[in-house]
Amino acid sequence: MLFSSFLVEGQSNKLVIDKIVGKVDNYIVLKSDVEKAYLDALSQGRSADKCLVLESLMVSKMLVAKAEIDSVEVSDDEVDNNLDRRLQFFISQVGSEEAIEEYYGKTLEQFKIELAETIKEQLTAQKMEGELTAEMSVSPAEVRKFFRNIPNDSLPYFSTEVKVGQIVKIPEVSKSQKDLVRKRLNDIRRQISDGADFNEMAKDNSMDPSVVQNGGELGFQRRGVLAPEYEATAFKLKAGEISEPFETDFGIHILQLLERRGNTFNTRHILISPQPLETDILGAVDYLDSLRSGILTDTITFAKAAKEYSDDQQTSSNGGFFSDGDGASRISVEELDPVIFFTLDTMALGTITKPMRYRLDDGTEAVRILFYDEKLAPHQANLRDDYQKIGRAALAEKRGRTMENWFLKARDDVYIEVDEEYQYCKIMNRIN
């Protein structure tokens, strides 16, 4: 085939050449796609090879093309929800919708359409691969065989690892504190009604971190993205109306509906989170102290107490224990929060701290107890200590072999071609 070249307008308003360098059925890979993925890998500190980058993009297109043949689809809602999350991330990075338009040199609607197409392809490829490997597992015999095949000089060396858990209690804010916040928000609401600028009032008073960039305006959102109480309030208002104070898990808000388009809406809000009194915090300390006594006297296990009573959702579902990116409960000390790391330095294995006050990432004051369960010294990988890690690696290899076999069979169902510029990569030899 003749690969077409064409001109595109870059961010600097200079014309640069782009061209199709790969094709799988009707799905194309542009040279700019390869360059961007390559530079992204380098910027993240990963080793990168343009041949491998192109191969990865071609494989992704092949998954999408084969999904079309096999009628594997993702819903519009899945795409829209993912699009909304990414768009909000972009806005938080550059500051506003207008900044996105300026940065990318296109309208927000054009940007969303292009991003939606990319997201749909990515989700389709993920779903197709997931259907091929979702039910896959490895037996103990497969794990042992995988481990035996690793050369001794290639076995990884792991640094010190620990198993540590926490039970968190967020102090309950008293009704009197909430009433003070509602009174303050009602006063702000009156000032805005009397002519004060909403955005300026938000910047001066709101505790939403994004207020610095957006003045309290959240942009168009679909149902199901924001807190239920927030959405319910927004849909009760007419354009321009400002709500009375209402509560969500984030605190107490007032919001103004700016515009509604079907199931999407644009609002701006002011958020103030009531702060606990010292008596509220001491109540949380007493609560955890009592729970700790129950654990120490074997009235309840630490894991059961964490699952039932901890306010930290990330760790409570894992029996209170911290986990690594793959879900393992034993983690490298290098991944620990420095405060926890230095606390463990003062603890003996099997002990539980007394309640300690600390602050969550959003600044909320909380109380927790820590349980130091296990410690594994630095060591070379072995089946006894690292079965879970080795099992994950064995499963990844098995999934890789499954996908390779699938590609060999699926290649006859799609049309594949690579531009002459990348023939040296011999991608066709691996994919085709």
Tokens of 199: 């955005």
Instruction: Evaluate whether 162 touches 375 at the Cβ level (below 8 Å).
Output: yes
**pLDDT tens digit sequence for 203-251:** 999 999 888 878 899 888 888 888 999 999 999 999 999 999 999 988 9
d(CA 207, CA 209): 6
Q: Is the pLDDT of residue 3 over 70?
A: no
Query: How does the average pLDDT of the chain come out, rounded?
Result: 88
Q: Is the pLDDT of residue 6 over 60?
A: no
Please indicate whether the domains covering 160-173+277-377 and 175-272 agree at the CATH topology level. Answer: yes
**pLDDT tens digit sequence for 83-116:** 888 887 777 777 677 788 888 788 888 888 888 8
Q: Is the pLDDT of residue 362 over 50?
A: yes
Which of the following CATH numbers is that of domain 5-137+392-431: 2.60.40, 2.40.50, 1.20.950, 1.10.4030?
1.10.4030
Predicted confidence at residue 1, as pLDDT, reads: 44
d(CA 324, CA 66): 34
Q: What is the pTM of this model?
A: 0.68
d(CA 394, CA 391): 5
Predicted confidence at residue 409, as pLDDT, reads: 83
* 373 Cβ contact list (under 8 Å, min separation 6): 162, 163, 164, 165, 302, 321, 349, 350
Predicted confidence at residue 99, as pLDDT, reads: 80
CA 47 to chain CA mean position, Å: 23
d(CA 197, CA 75): 41
d(CA 431, CA 411): 7
* 356 Cβ contact list (under 8 Å, min separation 6): 343, 367, 368, 369, 370
**pLDDT tens digit sequence for 288-314:** 999 999 999 999 999 999 999 999 999
**Would you identify the CATH topology of the domain 175-272?**
Chitinase A; domain 3 (3.10.50)
Instruction: Look up residue 245 and give its DSSP letter.
Output: P
Which of the following CATH numbers is that of domain 160-173+277-377: 3.40.50.11060, 3.10.50.40, 1.10.3720.10, 3.40.1710.10?
3.10.50.40
Predicted confidence at residue 432, as pLDDT, reads: 55
Q: Is the pLDDT of residue 429 over 70?
A: no
Tokens of 38: 């390559």
- Sorted by where each begins, the domain ranges of the chain are 5-137+392-431, 160-173+277-377, 175-272
